[in-house]
Amino acid sequence: MRTPTTRTARTLLAAALLLGVTAGPAALSPAFAATAPAVAAAAPDLSAVLAGLPRADATAALVRIGGTEGAWAGSTGVRDLESGAAADPAGRFRAGSVTKVFTAATVLQLAAEGRIDLDRTARSYLPELIPGRYATVTVRQLLNHTHGIPAADLPGETVEEWYAHRFDVHDPEDLVRSATAKPREFRPGTRQHYLNIGYTIAGLVVERVTGDSFEHQVERRILRPLGLRDTYLPGREAEIRGSYNHGYQLMRLDDGTTGLRDASVWRATDGWAAGDLVSTTADLERFTRALFAGRVVRGPLLEEMFTLPRVADFSTGAPAAYAAGLSMKRLGGREVWGKTGGRWGYNTAIASTRHGERTLVYSVNATDAKGQDMNRTALEIMLATYGLPSE
């Protein structure tokens, strides 16, 4: 696979930092126009956000707004820095932790069938894997991040080191053993700490109760029924299938300077059921609409995805913000539920008001993905769609 030379990447980055834009298509390519007054009001702001790409923080962005208030979609930026070709609005991307919504939905479907009990312990399903110190952790606590299990150990502490290990294969059972060998962070059910490990265990519970692979269960229960033909779980595959817009990550280069590396080809086995999904904005929009309409998880169990545990965040002490699969933020005076995701070179989000009045899906090819702060372009897309935070 071809990647831009160090000089090319450095030049493009420097231009972006100084001027706010780089070479390549800068004009917005709308897929279709706004179709309702509420969305029409947001469309000019979104056009302004997207018109500046590529720039220092992102090389491409794909956006779709839907719901009963109207629809709008657009794309901008470049497919890759070397050719400067326009970004593919139908291109696949790594959706990161948006995977957790699919995992939670699969677990809740199995709960509706009586095959998983949310109040039963994870150890009762995986007795050989979950040690006694975590004997009381329930499946519900895995899904809402109140389990108290720390993160698994992974090689590397910097993006450069992680890049060097990008082709490593991580076995989910080994990740669980690494995490559960450590003391618990807190008594289960008393705090919330957002981590991947609960969803790794949840994926293994799915496999245990079904006697099937996690990937096939998601395909059979969600992807196939909804017609999500461009969405898949890659397993050990490092390359993205089909057409995609390259993701670049800012890091230290071999010559000691800082520049962009192509991070598109990267195994995601460290994420697995917590973060390895590959999808498109069209597929994720269809999934979001179906989920919020009650066509993925049906009946009372859907409320698990909209019920925040009444505990404090482990790190900040703020009220818990994560339910089963989804999180909530008050934007523009109303509750917006959804999930963001980050893999190197890619930031993704799905979001919706509770009854689907306005949905949002975006993929931003972020050069600072997985950073401490939200990517600038992603944040501007969210605020242009829903408005400022209400708290």
Task: Please give the pLDDT value at position 34.
Answer: 54
Q: Using omega within 30 degrees of 0 as the cis cutoff, is the peptide bond preceding 225 cis? A: no
pLDDT tens digits, 239-258: 999 999 999 999 999 999 99
**Is the pLDDT confidence value at 7 over 70?**
no
**Confidence bin at 78 (pLDDT 50/70/90):** very high
Give me the mean pLDDT over the 55-78 stretch: 94
pLDDT of residue 112: 97
Q: Which residues contact 212 (CB under 8 A, 6 or more apart)?
A: none
d(CA 120, CA 122): 7
Phi and psi for 43 in degrees, rounded to 5? Answer: -60, -45
> DSSP state, 77?
E
> Residue 49 has what pLDDT?
86
Q: What is the pLDDT of residue 40?
A: 67
Edge-to-edge strands, sheet with 327-331: 29-32, 72-77, 58-66, 359-366, 346-353, 334-343, 327-331
Confidence check: pLDDT of 284 > 80: yes
Question: How high is the pLDDT of residue 11?
Answer: 39
Per-residue pLDDT band for 372 (boundaries 50, 70, 90) equals confident
Rounded Cα distance between 178 and 273, Å, is: 17
| pLDDT tops 80 at residue 210 | yes
Quote the pLDDT of residue 225: 98
> At residue 22, does pLDDT exceed 80?
no
Instruction: Tell whether the model's pLDDT for residue 26 goes beyond 80.
Output: no
pLDDT at 35: 61
Give the amino acid at 158.
T
For position 44, what pLDDT does the model report?
Answer: 61
Instruction: Among 27-36, 76-85, 162-171, name the one with the lowest average pLDDT.
Output: 27-36
pLDDT confidence tier of residue 33, bands split at 50, 70 and 90: very low
Residue 381 in this model has a pLDDT that exceeds 80: yes
Percent residues over pLDDT 70 in the chain: 88
pTM, whole model, 2 decimals?
Answer: 0.91
pLDDT at position 231 over 80: yes
Lowest mean pLDDT segment, chosen from 16-30, 185-199, 376-390: 16-30
d(CA 339, CA 341): 7
Q: Which pLDDT belongs to residue 54?
A: 93
- Ordered by start, the domain boundaries in the chain are 6-386
Write down the pLDDT at residue 31.
39
Across the range 101-128, mean pLDDT stands at: 98
Under CATH, what is the fold of the domain 6-386? Beta-lactamase (3.40.710)
Of 12-16, 108-112, 179-183, which range is least confident? Answer: 12-16
Token readout for 326 is 């989804």
Give the pLDDT score at 339. Answer: 98
| Degrees to nearest 5, angle at CA 139 with 133 and 142 | 75
Q: What is the DSSP letter of 344?
A: T
Residue 356 has pLDDT above 90, yes or no: yes
Q: What residue type is 2 in one-letter code? A: R
- Spatial CB neighbours of 187, under 8 Å, sequence gap ≥ 6: 148
pLDDT of residue 24: 32
* Residue 47: per-residue pLDDT: 83
- For the cut 70, the answer to whether the pLDDT of residue 43 exceeds it is no
Average pLDDT, the chain: 90
Quick one: pLDDT at residue 48?
A: 85
